[in-house]
Amino acid sequence: MTVRRILETERLRLRPYNEADLSELIPLVGAREVAATTLRIPHPYTEQDARAFLLLAQEPARIWLATTLRSDGRQIGGIGLTVDEQHQHAELGYWLGVAYWGQGYATEAAREMLRYGFEDLRLHRIFASHFKHNPASGRVLRKVGMRYEGCQREHVLKWDQFIDSELYGILRREWENHE
Ligand SMILES: CC(C)(COP(=O)(O)OP(=O)(O)OC[C@H]1O[C@@H](n2cnc3c(N)ncnc32)[C@H](O)[C@@H]1OP(=O)(O)O)[C@@H](O)C(=O)NCCC(=O)NCCS
């Protein structure tokens, strides 16, 4: 079910990671600002973390792709779907290097991942969560057609603080009507 491939949008190429990506990946994902609003990105981010990530990214259920610029191949972030085949659903997650925020890249990448999930993987539902104090991510999710499903109060423990987690989701039939 989880067919790996290269996905392209107007400005972006979303493609599988390889060993050669490590040197560009580590400083980009290693910024404190990126770790601060994500659940699973360690900080400080070490080469060992990056190697563990590359290994995990090979698991069939994890469609985790490097977000790169089509113009020059540069990595600017990462995006992924973690698929649960039993329920035909997947969780969407994404991050961008700080220098690339505010230019619509996350929306462009997320929109393509939804297309891939619904059209190519034939998923039934895609969901995502963001920390309450990360409204930019909520805006991305709404722009790609996701519906707000509620607040999971103090759902996650991040850097010694319990954080509210905002849940969003979209069903295939809603995505088909939204496009
Ligand atoms: C969240 C993140 C992916 C957004 O990426 P991005 O490329 O800047 O997002 P986009 O430009 O596609 O869209 C951001 C939207 O949020 C809006 N926005 C930005 N800051 C905002 C804020 N403080 N409050 C409300 N909206 C905000 C922008 O105006 C834009 O909406 P618009 O197009 O209607 O103007 C990026 O900031 C990031 O990687 N952060 C760190 C990692 C992270 O939080 N990942 C998501 C985990 S859920």
Q: What is the pLDDT of residues 96-143, one digit of tens each?
A: 999 999 999 999 999 999 999 999 999 999 999 999 999 999 999 999
Q: What is the mean pLDDT of residues 32-49?
A: 97
Q: Give yes or no for residue 96 CB within 6 A of ligand 1.
A: yes
Phi and psi angles of residue 14, each rounded to the nearest 5 degrees, phi first: -105, 115
Q: What is the pLDDT of residues 63-92, one digit of tens each?
A: 999 999 999 999 999 999 999 999 999 999
Please give the torsion angle defined by the CA atoms of residues 129, 6, 83 and 145, in that order, rounded to the nearest 10 degrees.
40
The pLDDT, as a whole number, for residue 9 is: 98
Cα 73 from Cα 8, distance rounded (Å) = 12
With cut-offs at 50, 70 and 90, classify the pLDDT of residue 5: confident
* Residue 105 CA, closest ligand 1 atom number: 7
Quote the ligand 1 centre to 160 CA distance (angstroms): 24
* Residue 37 CA, closest ligand 1 atom number: 44
pLDDT of residue 179 exceeding 90, the answer is no
